[in-house]
Each structure stands twice: as structure tokens, then as C-alpha cells.
Amino acid sequence: MARRRGGGRGGRRGGRSRTENRQKGNETTQDSIRTEGVVLEARPNTTFLVQLDAGPEILAHVGGKMRRHYIRILPGDRVVVEISTYDPEKGRIVYRK
Amino acid sequence: MILKRPSEIEAMADAAVINREALEAVEAALAPGVTTAELNAVAEEVILRSGGRPAFKGYRGFPATLCTSVNEVVVHGIPDERPLSEGDIVSIDVGTFYKGYAADMAKTYAVGEIPDATRRLLDATERSLYAGIERARPGNRLGDVSAAIQDVVEEAGMWVVREFVGHGIGREFHEGPDVPNFGRAGTGPVLRPGLVLAIEPMVALTRTAVIVLDDGWTAPTENGAPAAHFEHTVAVTEDGPRILTAKETMAQTAQGGHDGA
């Protein structure tokens, strides 16, 4: 009998209607690093535990652009994560592979 | 992660023999028109007659000896009065307690003729199980087992179910560590002799989430894709993996020679 993992489906909250004309350009700034990882587990409030390819596990939320387009994240997905240089424990999922 | 002494592993092997015999009895009874409740009765009879105790019955309130998961149900289907029909696939999962130790095993069977794609699903899932078992050696890491399973499944173009995982097994039915069927080689805890794992790839034909129905158990694929489930209870020993629930000897499995379905 298989053991059930915590989590299940994440990203079930609807997208917010935010005006399109935020600052021009990418969410990336010099203050963040982009890396890749694998989603281990869905956590409350559409956050996810992501295992980075470099090793560490970080807590990441789903980027606003992804929410707007209803891109769902499941445990096991490979994702691109942007990590703040101020808090290396936290990140934002910006792309699902 | 609880390591077992050799004497404990022998006790688990005894439980595994009863468990395997129960599954073989189910296999012999399997035919179109048979209900899963009837199969459940067959397995329960074998386990009780051998002095074992069905491990699932009462586990967190599960009502039966077997999990019978038909077609799109991945795991934890509850036996009922619905007859199996030609073209179905049914995953039979059975667990036994004997002398204080548990064994756990599952296999997906075809009922009569099934479509080619479904046949490939069963083949790929079973191959992924043996690929994972092959990596269950001292000094390897748990991620090596997981990655080997995932590689075989994805090579076949199928989807590894993430919502459920294998587990350590011993005096408790579910022990640490979790054994996911996906992951990266070279990560996770190092495997040591005496560790016993229930390795159980669950595979869906296409990419899908898995949901749990209101009965609290039955776990079908969200998109209705058929799913397969193969499982062995495997001890990590100095000499390599020992499949407690398999009939064949270790030497045979080391050569990759298993009898299949």
C-alpha cells in the first residue's frame, strides 16, 4: 500500500486581475539569481518546496505572471526559480518546464 | 530509517512468503466476471490460514485485505461487487503481518486482452520496479533508486505518479524513509545493509494529477488515464538487493531474470 505524500495539487487560486502596465521589462533584476530545480512538495498558500539542482531546498511562491496564465505546478515538475540575493531561502517560480 | 538485523529480515521474508502466496491465489482466481470482493476473500483466506494477519484491514480505517485498483484507479481501490470485464486492468496490492513483521507487494494484471498501449504501461512499470530494485545496494543513495525508476518510465513516454510514494517497512507497515519514484541520482540518504524498503512505482499512461475520492481511499488519475502499480518488499543486504516478496532467488534477479507477469 502506497504512502500518501503531503501536498497534492497546488496553485489552485485564481489569477489576480492586475493591470498589465506595471514597470516595463522582466521581473528579473540584478538582485535575483535564476536557477532550476524540482518541486518536492506543495505547501500552504500556493508556495512550494523546491529542490534546487545545486542542492538546497527553498520555499518558492508562484510568480504573478504564471498565476495570471493559470499555469499549474505539481510536485515533480522542473521549474525555473528566481532567488532573491537578500534571502537565499525564498524564491519565485517563473517558469514550468 | 530503521535497520533490521538478519534475523528480523528472515522474519520479514516469512511474512513475504505468505503475502506472495495470497497474491498468487488471487492471480489464479482472476478472470472476467469475477468481482474484486471475491478476490479479496481469496487473499484473506490464504493469509489467515497461514497464520498471518491482513495488514491493510483496519489500517487507518481501510476496510479490506486487498487494494483492488481498476483501470484509471492508481492505488487504494476498495474491493466491491462490480465484476471485472475483459479489457480491464486491475492492480492488486496486498500486505501481511506475520510474527510482528510486515510485507507488502503489488502487481497489475490484465483481464483478458488489453490494448497495446496499456500492455506497454504494465511492461514499463514492471521494468521500472526492477530498475529501482537493482540500485538498492549499500552505499547507493535513495535518489539512485528513485531516478532509475523515473528514467525507465519517462523513457517509455509515461508519467510517474508523484502523489504517492514507496516507504520503509518493518515492524510498522509504513516507516521512514519515503521512497519516491522520481528524483535525482546521488541525492538523499545513503542506503545501508538492513534497510528494508517497499519499492512501488505507480505510473499513469499520460501526464496527470491523481485525486482521492470521497471514500478517502480510491485514488484515480484526474484525466482518466489508465495506471499501473508494481511493488516488492526489498531488503538492502551486503550482497545487494534481496527481493523478499519474489519467488526467484537473488542470483536470478541479479541477472535481471524475473518471470514477469
Annotate B126-145 with DSSP letters as a single string: HHHHHHHHHT--TT-BHHHH
Res. B148: pLDDT tops 90 = yes
Q: Which of B67, B160, B167 lies nearest to residue A3, judging by beta carbons?
A: B167
> How does pLDDT run across B150-164, given as a tens digit for each residue?
999 999 999 999 999
pLDDT, mean of residues A11-36 = 49
Residue A19 pLDDT? 38
Query: How many other C-beta atoms lie within 10 A of the C-beta of residue A2?
Result: 27
CB contact (8 A) between residue A2 and residue B209: no
Task: Label residue B195 by pLDDT band (50, 70, 90).
Answer: very high
Residue B74: the pLDDT is 96
Find the angle CA(B8)-CA(B94)-CA(B3) to the nearest 5 degrees: 25
- The Cα of B131 is separated from the nearest Cα of chain A by a number of Å equal to 19
CB contact under 8 A, A5 and B229: no
Residue A89: pLDDT band by 50, 70, 90 thresholds? confident
Q: Provide the pLDDT for residue A8.
A: 38
Q: What is the average pLDDT across A25-53?
A: 77
Least confident piece of the model among A56-70, B34-48, B148-162: A56-70
Which grid cell sits at B246?
A: 519474489
Hey, how many other C-beta atoms are within 10 angstroms of the C-beta on B12? Answer: 27
Mind telling me how many Å the CA of B250 is from chain A's nearest CA? 24
Q: Is the ipTM of this complex over 0.85?
A: no
Under 8 Å CB pairs connecting chains A and B tally to 56
CB contact under 8 A, A1 and B76: yes
Judge contact between B198 and B104, C-beta under 8 A.
Answer: yes
